[in-house]
Structure 1
Amino acid sequence: MTAAIDPATDRGALLRLEGLKVAYPGQRGRDATVAVDGLSVTVPAGRAVAIVGESGSGKSTTLHALLGLTPRTADVSFERLEFQDGTTGGLRRIDDPRALRGRSVGLVPQDPVRSLDPLMRIGAQFAELHRHFLGLTGREESRARTVAALESVGVDRPGLRLGQYPHELSGGQRQRILIALALVGEPRLLLADEPTSNLDTTVQRRVLDLFDEVRAARGLSVLLVTHDIAVAGERADHLVVMRAGRVVESGPTRDILDAPKDPYTRQLLTSLPSRLPARPVFRAASPPRVVLASHGLTKSFGGGKGQERIDAVRDVSLTLHRGQTVAVVGESGAGKSTLLRLLTGLDRPDAGTVLLDGEETRPGRRARTAFARRVQLVYQNPARSLNPSFPVGRAIAEPLEAHRVGGAKSRAERVRDLLEQVELPAELAARRPSQLSGGQLQRVAIARALALDPDVIVLDEPVSALDQAVQFALLKLLGDLQERLQVAYLLVSHDLGVVRAVADEVIVMHRGRVEEQAATRSVFEAPTSPHTRALLDAVPALQLPTPLVHLAPLAPFSTSDGKKQP
């Protein structure tokens, strides 16, 4: 990383934005919602600036406003927007942000699944931008440029990728393709909106390294939005900390990490998963109760039309005790999700067995129903796993209704009890999922999973999409629930900081096989597998002063008009 600077005083500014305000009209007579309130930021030429903050702080809205991509209903204004003139090197005023799109500023969106057209092959998506930004109509020239672009961002077999659809690519490949698409117009500034939030540790590092390589090779600047202050601290020259639409602190990265001035910045730093209290060494009850186990699980796919079958899971065995947390980690394609589906009965193995309380699980509707009562699943994205038309209370009660547990009155009482267990107010039961924050939705998903008093809860990336403060609170909640209820957790995660904080045992997978399986402390302090060491080496190394005192929850944030923001 280059030496820290203060963009506010840098004469080589590429972009300067002052006094950005974004507001959305209120509904049913309510006041307007202020998403961004008076933000100013400067991005120097050839440098990286990161905007960090919790969900809803206005980070992504700022990027969208910079390119005129906010919804039509948004009221957007700014005191000044300037971009460096390519001829004179000085700043020129920009009246319409849309003029910056593509040729001056490129955008790498947050979600490659949603950002890439699922009905268009990769080559066609590049050809469309070639026509729009470069005026290229020749098929061969577009193909040659696309192959070169994919090679420049490290996509393997680029010629093959041209004919593939987005769903045929891994998460890391899709993210690299988004970067290549953002570079088609040869911009001088890249806006990156949470570019690594859903990627595993090694792929995350490779993508972030790619940003650094592209920046150095092309002399680009980067404006990075992330909820992960460890990533920002490792990669950016300058940090902008946002809360409730406002900048609460801004300055050179090292200065903010060493001496944060604002209480909210200090809380972000103390909310890193690595700063959770050390998990006590797990000791099974005597006699130990094994609630879930597998022996020799194997599952392969493919093999059609002369193709070789691919082993997604190969000879995997594990044991999960009551009250224990076992974490499964590995790169994309390691077999984590397939293993999860086998263990929860969503897929049947080609070989091997799954045992619940020592008894082999069997096919059939009655057996699956009994299994589902005792093994529950919390998905990565609660917004997609909860019915958007159901009130929260009904969503939590749905397992009770499906298994015919109790009557309407007892179910309503159970819902209130579950909301209390996950530390949510009872009045949320009447709201729709769209009216809740990401952290609240994940708590609802956990309450739903607890409804039938299961022995095992499978957690599939439960905090990967949440900002750090919410992650910290949710992980603490899961720990408290486990201690009180003695439920066992099977955790699938790419975040090794989370794994180290909450897991008793770690299973490291690579290409469908178990590379390493041991107590968490052993895996982190003395890994025996080269692949495990590579995963650990990829974790962002954020050096913080000691001690940083953990702060109490912050009071509501007051906006300039005196209104409270959560």
Structure 2
Amino acid sequence: MSAETVLRLDGLTVRHPARGGEVTAVEDISLTVPAGRCVALVGESGSGKSTTLNALLGLTPATARTRVRRLEFADAPGGAPRPVTDPAALRGRSVGLVPQDPARALDPLVRIEGHFAELYRHFTGLKDRAEARRRTVAALAAVGVDRPEARLRQYPHELSGGLLQRVLVALALTGEPRLLLADEPTSNLDVTVQRRVLDLFDALRAERGLALLLVTHDLAVASQRADELIVLRGGRVVESGPTDRVIGAPRHPYTRQLVTSLPGRLPRTARPAAGTDAAPAAGTGDGPPVVLAARGLAKSYPGARGSGPVAAVRGVDLTLRRGRTLAVVGESGAGKTTLLRLLTGLERPDAGTVLLDGTPVGTGRRARVAFTRRVQLVHQNPAGSLNPALTIGRIIAEPLAAHRIGTARHRAERARALLEAVGLPAGFAAQRPARLSGGQAQRVAIARALALDPEVLVLDEPVSALDQAVQLALLELLDGLQRRLGIALLLVTHDLGVVRATADEVLVLHRGRTEEAGLADALFTAPASPYTRALLDAVPALRLPVTPPFHERTPSS
């Protein structure tokens, strides 16, 4: 017996005004979401996934032209779907939304309790503060937030990414909706937190019969959690159907491309032998020379509200060899970002030393200038690190100007050459950052980091918010740059699929300490630490049915 239909959408088309006509964002999108089931929308950036969600809630811009042949929703269990004339009426009570970025979705000046109180007043007219607090504690506990009473007085910035995501789920459920829309709910979470959030969605579907429409660029997540996949490209559905069929026997070339472009499924490119089985922290062996190292790094911060200091990094050693890639991994709060800031000189350690070519890095101005010419940082959010008032050419040439290298003409020519080196047209130099996609912005950030011919690139979550095809292209770009230029890469990431595809060596952090360090192949095949094994077990793998892979099938099959 098939599950009852909660949402039925037929023939959604959204067009935006543009010079000389209109631009079609989505065209003729149709989907059905049954009670207790998960339907996943997958596809690259710009494919129309978020536009579809916004249209379902009446959140498309006023300038957009939106047409729907039919939109129906079942308000109560057992009821037949009825036509919806105003999608905005579905918000909150019928349909809950879990937005992509929890840090931006919550008001940073409002405590967690205040966010819930506002929704209770809106949905139920509840003004009793004690009752609102009781309901909030129950709502937070229901989605697995630990110490919910203590969380009421906290601000969003005081919570981890996983806790913020659970708070957003609880907020989305305050109106007791029948359908939950989740827009990239796990893209910035580490694998263990990601699994807990996805397990929460599964539990809500099982316990409440909640229908889930999941937007994700992670095909592995979709293959594990969704009952049905809808593949979008260029605003159109190119393939849809039961998950096992779409993954196991994809019919469209684009779907086949998605299946084969998962970083964790790619064979690692052969590299020169390391020359040692020693862990990266050991700093011994006859492999490539060490370019960047750390010995005994430690950093603590004052605790909240007068409590004792919190140790973010505790006695960490690492070694990065020339022309090789070292990945630093761990859960949220493991100390990855603090370690990165210590290594790049953005913060001073309480103890320990950073060494460049075996020499401790000085703290004076001249030492810092010399260090930044050789070690460059690529930030996690490239759009936020690119000055919107400057052209892309000037942004790339900024480091050259700061170090007074070359004439203005030379710097402009160098910027155009760097754009081509990272796979972008030289003509992009005259454009502004606002016109760039996420993948293009990341390439510009890499080009700027390469302007000074550094020996080390430190990359902070470089592909976490990008879709699979763009991830693959950027990883191939970094691999090619490393091979041509001999650059050492220090990769900070929570994505173990990316680590498996790119890293030579891995350093696993847990609560600020080194949990395990060694060659990547050994760590993935025989992890020594139970914590590392738990991380690997949490990685979402592509769920393939027991059928021949598509490349072994005949066209007729």
Q: Does 1:244 align with 2:203?
A: no
Aligned to 2:41: 51
Aligned to 2:318: 318
Q: Is the 8 A contact 2:396 2:447 kept in 1?
A: yes
**Percent identity between the two aligned chains:** 68
Encode CA deviations 1:462-508: one digit per residue, 9 max, x unaligned.
Answer: 00010000101110111011001000000000000000000000011
Counterparts of 1:59 and 1:305, CA distance in 2: 42
Which of 12, 16, 34 pairs up with 1:24? 16
| Mean Cα deviation higher: 498-507 or 536-545 | 536-545
The residue type equivalent to 2:519 in the other structure is: A
Counterparts of 2:550 and 2:499, CA distance in 1: 22
Encode CA deviations 1:200-242: one digit per residue, 9 max, x unaligned.
Answer: 0100000000111111111101000000111000000000000
Counterparts of 1:222 and 1:507, CA distance in 2: 36
Residues 126 and 251 of structure 1: is their aligned pair in 2 closer, same or farther, counting only changes over 3 Å? same
Encode CA deviations 1:78-135: one digit per residue, 9 max, x unaligned.
Answer: 0000011427611100000011111110000000011011111100110000011122
| Mean Cα deviation higher: 174-183 or 277-286 | 277-286
Q: Does 1:13 align with 2:2?
A: no
Counterparts of 1:216 and 1:130, CA distance in 2: 25
The residue type equivalent to 1:236 in the other structure is: A
Counterparts of 1:12 and 1:323, CA distance in 2: 57
The residue type equivalent to 1:20 in the other structure is: L
- How far the C-alpha of 1:541 sits from its partner, in A, is 2.1
Aligned to 1:187: 177
- How far the C-alpha of 1:547 sits from its partner, in A, is 4.9
Aligned to 2:249: 259
Matches within 5 A, 1:387-536: 387-536=387-536
- Secondary structure class of the residue paired with 2:424: coil
Which of 135, 138, 143 pairs up with 2:133? 143
- How far the C-alpha of 1:548 sits from its partner, in A, is 4.8
Q: Is the 8 A contact 1:16 1:43 kept in 2?
A: yes
Aligned to 1:127: 117
Counterparts of 1:276 and 1:485, CA distance in 2: 23
Residues 308 and 410 of structure 1: is their aligned pair in 2 closer, same or farther, counting only changes over 3 Å? same
Counterparts of 1:198 and 1:23, CA distance in 2: 30
Counterparts of 1:248 and 1:542, CA distance in 2: 20
- Secondary structure class of the residue paired with 1:107: strand
Q: Is the 8 A contact 1:119 1:165 kept in 2?
A: yes
Q: Is the 8 A contact 2:33 2:213 kept in 1?
A: yes
Residues 321 and 123 of structure 1: is their aligned pair in 2 closer, same or farther, counting only changes over 3 Å? same
Q: Does 1:271 align with 2:261?
A: yes
The residue type equivalent to 1:300 in the other structure is: S
- Secondary structure class of the residue paired with 2:300: strand
Counterparts of 1:289 and 1:399, CA distance in 2: 27
Which of 175, 186, 189 pairs up with 1:199? 189
**How high is the TM-score relative to the length of structure 2?**
0.95
Aligned to 1:562: none
Encode CA deviations 1:23-61: one digit per residue, 9 max, x unaligned.
Answer: 1110xx332111111100000111110000000000011
Aligned to 1:374: 374
- Secondary structure class of the residue paired with 2:316: strand
Structure 2 unaligned segments of length 5 or more: list them. Answer: 276-285, 553-557
Q: Does 1:210 align with 2:200?
A: yes
Structure 1 unaligned segments of length 5 or more: list them. Answer: 551-566
Counterparts of 2:337 and 2:272, CA distance in 1: 25
Counterparts of 1:294 and 1:300, CA distance in 2: 17
Q: Is the 8 A contact 1:52 1:225 kept in 2?
A: yes
Counterparts of 2:536 and 2:482, CA distance in 1: 27
Matches within 5 A, 1:331-342: 331-342=331-342
Residues 329 and 287 of structure 1: is their aligned pair in 2 closer, same or farther, counting only changes over 3 Å? closer
How many residue pairs match? The answer is 540
Q: Is the 8 A contact 2:248 2:550 kept in 1?
A: no
Counterparts of 2:480 and 2:99, CA distance in 1: 36
> Could you list the runs of 4 or more consecutive aligned residues of structure 1 that deviate by over 3 angstroms after TM superposition?
281-288, 303-306, 543-550
- How far the C-alpha of 1:406 sits from its partner, in A, is 0.4
Aligned to 2:278: none
Counterparts of 1:161 and 1:85, CA distance in 2: 32
Counterparts of 2:231 and 2:58, CA distance in 1: 22
Q: Is the 8 A contact 1:282 1:504 kept in 2?
A: no
The residue type equivalent to 1:24 in the other structure is: H
The residue type equivalent to 1:442 in the other structure is: Q
- Secondary structure class of the residue paired with 1:326: strand
Counterparts of 2:124 and 2:317, CA distance in 1: 54
Encode CA deviations 1:376-419: one digit per residue, 9 max, x unaligned.
Answer: 01111110010011111111111110111100121122112111
Counterparts of 1:18 and 1:439, CA distance in 2: 32
Counterparts of 2:454 and 2:518, CA distance in 1: 25
Counterparts of 1:548 and 1:355, CA distance in 2: 49
- Secondary structure class of the residue paired with 1:32: strand
- How far the C-alpha of 1:281 sits from its partner, in A, is 4.9
Residues 87 and 466 of structure 1: is their aligned pair in 2 closer, same or farther, counting only changes over 3 Å? closer
Counterparts of 2:305 and 2:58, CA distance in 1: 48
The residue type equivalent to 1:19 in the other structure is: G
Q: Is the 8 A contact 1:289 1:322 kept in 2?
A: yes
The residue type equivalent to 1:13 in the other structure is: T
